[in-house]
Amino acid sequence: MNLRSPLGAAMAHGSARSGTGHWRDQRLGAVALVPLGLWFLWALLTRPDLGHAGVVAWIAEPLTAVPLALFTLVALWHSLLGTAVIIEDYVHGHGLKAVSLVALRLVHGLAAAAAIVALVAIVGGGAG
Amino acid sequence: MTEPNRPLSPHLQVYRWLPAMAPSILHRASGVFLSLASLLLVYWLVAVARGPEAYAAVGRVFGSLPVRVLLAGAIAAFWYHLIAGLRHLALDADLGFDKVTARRSSAAVVVLAGVATLATLALAWHQLVLS
């Protein structure tokens, strides 16, 4: 049984019924980022050859490309969720908050698209 | 839309300062720092994809002192956020939620993150000198 008034729902008062999804995704990303982040740091630190050809050959290996793609995209997703909560907490005023949240999605979306295109180009051999 | 005058989550200025607030704020600050670092990672990936010239140009940016300091900060933020994040996951699972344990674990997080950061920086320094 739903005890919320239709007017309240129309005015978007009360729970938006999407809070637990955000909370759960944040933690899901966090758990995934523990091994992915440790792998990334370890991989970077143990790479003696950081010249262009060496890096391209390294990223083009599936055993690098797959975790690197996962790490980058999950990190950006986790970053979007985290920074959105900070803006929701500290940016006051409806307009500014909405604009900040849209800008945040824009930056993260652009970064994710750029990362995907870059990785596809490197793996596909487009990076001379 | 009218400005709603509805209760929001309470803000920092409402509370009296307590030491327990430091790890929470540090977790957010290190998270924001890592968000910026993730943009640096994408910038680096794009440079790799664009070719040797673009990669060399980005290499000069990354080799400059301010960016090196930024990257060292990102390593510290990485370790703090990772270890404090594990502590938060434990707290979410109702592990170590009593006052004494939570205080001890927040201090342990700072110590562990500091040791891991120094070890990582030493390894990175070793790599830079070798290469």
Whether B124 and A127 lie within 8 Å, measured CB to CB: no
pTM: 0.87
User: Is B84 within a domain?
Assistant: yes
Please determine, looking at this structure, whether the domain spanning A6-123 carries the CATH number 1.20.1300.10. Answer: yes
Which residue range is the domain that position B125 belongs to?
24-130
- Encode chain A (128 residues) as per-residue pLDDT tens digits: 667 677 776 776 666 666 688 888 999 999 999 999 999 999 999 887 889 999 999 999 999 999 999 999 999 999 999 999 999 888 888 899 999 999 999 999 999 999 999 999 999 985 55
Secondary structure of chain A: what % helix, strand, coil (to 5)?
Answer: 80, 0, 20
Contact call for residues B27 and B105 (beta carbons, < 8 A) = no
Tell me what ipTM this predicted complex has.
0.87
Instruction: List chain A domain ranges.
Output: 6-123
Tokens of A69: 């793609």
- Give the minimum alpha-carbon distance from A102 to chain B in angstroms, rounded to a whole number: 16
Query: Would an 8 Å CB–CB cutoff place B45 in contact with chain A?
Result: yes
